[in-house]
């Protein structure tokens, strides 16, 4: 293919800069530059930058001419390529602008985000408006198109037809199809056919298919791999990491708010294997963690504290992820022709960004952001998505044997049959409601064991992979108060006791995100989590537990407005055992 005139002219200008015929407009001088290809920290290097791209990296510190150029003296410091976050969810209770504002100081200059959240509620326009909001920001964004995998087809009602996703998939900013749960790819009939076809389209378009292989192994994992996924961020043991690396996956070790795997898979770094397909990513960071610890920078600091080699780690967040997404001709290294994205840190072992440069522009220095995020627009319709009117919780059986979801960890449930007449067996059992908020108001009430809540009810519209509201509660009055309040505030999370709303987090954008400043968002979310824990909830950050009860990403018994769903066979189950 012929290169475009623009690209070829840009290459010519960069080559002239390297030859000393045209002055650069920015120089990072005298730093110890990390070479991602050889894993060397090379001292006394200078980087010459022109029009946002790198022309030269080497020992010639003093390029000719150009008195007005920006010079950054990196003496005694280390220059890395800007970090690439390979897998995240930016709609994580906050808006795009706040995400950008808080990511800039972390040294991340490129973000690849999933697009599932808004789309689950409003369909294709959720992806389109999000993508529009990512354009023109001071850091670089890419996205993947969400396959919208629900528990049953009724959670996929907003999933666009594959042909409607094609223009989004074909955009140069789209790197592929977003994470696809392995169990969904094997589903029969339309639900499975749709995602299998989307995966094929993505592969045919030369794009990536982002995998999600939690718990899969052996032949099942290999059968799933036949559909083309090339990354997975779900391994939680060394063996799982190794099995996927051997199958050719780029393994993204997750270290974020949902789970932190680094400590558990630390031993992998002591094996004599090739690490070039390992990536470190967050899979999303919640507002509290963002404020208290940071983002991918915090993950890196934890990895460094575990004694993992800095060079290896910096490859994992630069070149390795760029190669996975076939972007290494543009990103992931400090070398000629690549984008001038860099982060300057005091030493290899100390990841505290002093300068951050994106596309040849200083965006952070002296502890300050040098740029403002671009304002993002969403239409009014995306702020009116909680369509319920005076819902009454139907009665549940008071005795006999019933089916319940039992939490065996913060996120994982199992199917349990309990006898409501047995005081021991029915201890710590509360109600769980899933309610369609798209207008039909179909609801299902079941039982949840092991959440710990002693009084009141908590409900959320921020649920993963479903447009349902999910409410867990000790009494129907509190649950109804929660539903009504969620309607009034346009969604989010609400904790109520009786008719009193005790704490709330309004998230009016699709019922998923707040557009308030990050500090306020963090404060409201923290208060909600605290309130739940003060009233008995036993899991850390219990609002996430509720958000995930309707997701097929996590085993075993989940809930929808049609009933419980057993993940293994997707059978819809009633309360009566």
Measured torsion, CA atoms of residues 81, 82, 85, 86, in degrees rounded to the nearest 10: -40
Record the tokens describing residue 476, joined without a space: 């129907």
327-346: contacts with Fe ion (CB under 5 A) = none
Give the Cα separation of 560 and 463 in Å (integer).
11
Closest to 267 measured CA to CA, from 311, 294, 306: 306
Q: Which is nearer to Fe ion, 91 or 385 (CB)?
A: 91
Please, which residue, 32 or 257, has the CB nearer to Fe ion?
257
CB of 218 to Fe ion, least distance (A): 23
Angstrom distance (rounded) from CA 554 to CA 551: 6
Q: 3-state DSSP call for residue 369?
A: strand
286 is an interface residue for Fe ion by CB under 5 A:
no
Query: From CA 169, how far away is CA 201, in angstroms rounded?
Result: 9
DSSP notation for 65-79: S-TT-EEEE-TTSEE
Alpha-carbon distance of 317 to 269, in angstroms, equals 15
Neighbours of 301 (CB within 10 A): 17
Please answer whether residues 521 and 94 qualify as being in contact, where contact means their C-beta atoms are separated by less than 8 angstroms.
yes
Q: Give the residue, chosen from 97, 117, 283, 480, that forms a contact with Fe ion under the rule CB under 5 A.
A: 283
User: Count of residues binding Fe ion (CB under 5 A)?
Assistant: 2
Measured from the CB of residue 295, what is the shortest distance to Fe ion in angstroms? Answer: 15
Q: How far is the CB of 179 from Fe ion (least distance, A)?
A: 5
Q: Are 513 and 121 in contact (CB under 8 A)?
A: no
Q: What is the spatial distance between Cα 203 and Cα 261, in angstroms, rounded to a whole number?
A: 29
Cβ neighbours of residue 1 closer than 8 Å, sequence gap 6 or more: none
Site string for Fe ion, 131-170 (x = CB under 5 A): ----------------------------------------
Identity of the residue, 46 or 551, whose beta carbon is nearer to Fe ion in the bound complex: 551
Q: How far is the CB of 250 from Fe ion (least distance, A)?
A: 14
Here's the x/- map for Fe ion, 525-544, by CB under 5 A: it reads as: --------------------
Closest approach of Fe ion to the CB of residue 553, in Å? 8
With binding defined as CB under 5 A, does residue 255 bind Fe ion?
Answer: no
- For residue 544, which of 293, 290, 285, 297 has the smallest C-alpha distance? 285
Least Å from the CB of residue 283 to Fe ion: 4
| Candidates 98-106, 280-288, 430-438, 519-527; binding stretch for Fe ion (CB under 5 A) | 280-288
Stretch binding Fe ion (CB under 5 A), from 21-29, 40-48, 283-291, 493-501? 283-291
Only segment of 275-283, 447-455, 471-479, 495-503 that touches Fe ion (CB under 5 A) = 275-283
Find the shortest distance in angstroms from Cβ 552 to Fe ion. 13
CB of 572 to Fe ion, least distance (A): 25
The answer to whether the peptide bond before residue 556 is cis (omega within 30 degrees of 0) is yes
Distance CA 369, CA 361 (A): 12
Could you give the string, one character per residue 172-201, with x where binding to Fe ion holds by CB under 5 A and - elsewhere? -------x----------------------
Which is nearer to Fe ion, 283 or 328 (by Cβ)?
283
Q: Which is nearer to Fe ion, 179 or 288 (CB)?
A: 179
Chain residue whose CB lies nearest Fe ion: 283
Q: Return d(Cα 474, Cα 393) in angstroms, integer.
A: 12
Q: Which residue has the tokens 């990895």?
A: 303
**Site residues for Fe ion per CB under 5 A:** 179, 283
């Amino acid at each position: 293919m012929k290169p475009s005139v623009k690209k070829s002219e840009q290459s010519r200008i960069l080559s002239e800069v390297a030859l000393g015929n045209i002055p650069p407009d920015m120089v990072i001088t005298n730093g110890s530059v990390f070479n991602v290809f050889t894993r060397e920290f090379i001292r006394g290097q200078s980087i010459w930058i022109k029009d946002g791209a790198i022309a030269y990296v080497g020992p010639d510190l003093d390029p000719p001419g150009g008195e007005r150029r920006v010079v950054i003296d990196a003496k005694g410091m280390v220059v890395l390529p800007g970090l690439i976050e390979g897998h995240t969810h930016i709609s994580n209770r906050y808006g795009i602008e706040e995400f950008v504002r808080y990511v800039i100081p972390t040294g991340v200059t490129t973000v690849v985000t999933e697009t599932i959240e808004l789309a689950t509620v409003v369909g294709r326009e959720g992806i389109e408006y999000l993508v529009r909001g990512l354009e023109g920001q001071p850091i670089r964004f890419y996205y993947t198109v969400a396959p919208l995998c629900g528990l049953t087809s009724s959670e996929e009602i907003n999933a666009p037809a594959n042909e409607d996703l094609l223009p989004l998939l074909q955009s140069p900013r789209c790197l592929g199809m977003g994470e696809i749960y392995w169990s969904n790819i094997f589903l029969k009939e339309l639900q499975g056919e749709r995602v299998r076809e989307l995966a094929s389209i993505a592969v045919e378009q030369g794009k990536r298919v982002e995998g999600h292989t939690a718990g899969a192994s052996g032949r099942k994992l290999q059968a799933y791999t036949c559909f083309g996924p090339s990354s997975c961020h779900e391994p939680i043991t060394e063996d799982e990491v190794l099995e996927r690396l051997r199958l050719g996956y780029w393994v993204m070790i997750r270290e974020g708010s949902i789970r932190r795997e680094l400590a558990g898979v630390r031993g992998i770094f002591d094996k004599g294997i090739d690490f070039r397909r390992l990536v470190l990513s967050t899979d999303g960071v919640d507002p509290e963690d963002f404020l208290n610890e940071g983002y991918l920078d915090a993950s890196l600091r934890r990895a460094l504290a575990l004694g993992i080699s800095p060079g290896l780690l910096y490859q994992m967040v630069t070149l390795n992820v760029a190669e996975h997404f076939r972007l290494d001709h543009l990103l992931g290294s400090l070398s000629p022709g690549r984008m001038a994205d860099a982060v300057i840190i005091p030493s290899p072992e100390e990841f505290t960004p002093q300068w951050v440069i994106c596309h040849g522009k200083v965006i952070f220095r002296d502890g300050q952001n040098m740029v403002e995020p671009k304002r993002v627009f969403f239409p009014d319709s995306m702020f009116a998505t909680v369509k319920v009117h005076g819902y009454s919780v139907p009665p549940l059986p008071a005795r006999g044997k019933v089916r319940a979801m039992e939490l065996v960890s913060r996120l994982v449930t199992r199917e349990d049959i309990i006898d409501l007449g047995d005081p021991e067996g029915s201890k710590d059992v509360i109600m769980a409601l899933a309610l369609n908020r798209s207008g039909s108001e179909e609801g299902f009430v079941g039982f949840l064991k092991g959440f710990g809540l002693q009084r009141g009810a908590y409900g959320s519209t921020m649920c993963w992979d479903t447009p349902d509201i999910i409410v867990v509660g000790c009494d129907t009055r509190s649950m109804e108060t929660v539903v009504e309040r969620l309607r009034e505030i346009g969604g989010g999370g609400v904790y109520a006791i009786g008719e009193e709303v005790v704490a709330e987090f309004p998230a009016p954008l699709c019922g998923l995100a707040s557009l308030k400043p990050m500090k306020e968002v963090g404060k409201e979310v923290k208060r909600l989590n605290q309130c739940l824990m003060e009233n008995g909830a036993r899991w850390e950050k219990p609002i996430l537990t509720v958000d995930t009860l309707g997701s097929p990403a996590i085993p075993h018994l989940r809930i929808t407005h049609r009933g419980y769903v057993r993940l293994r066979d997707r059978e819809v189950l009633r309360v009566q055992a």
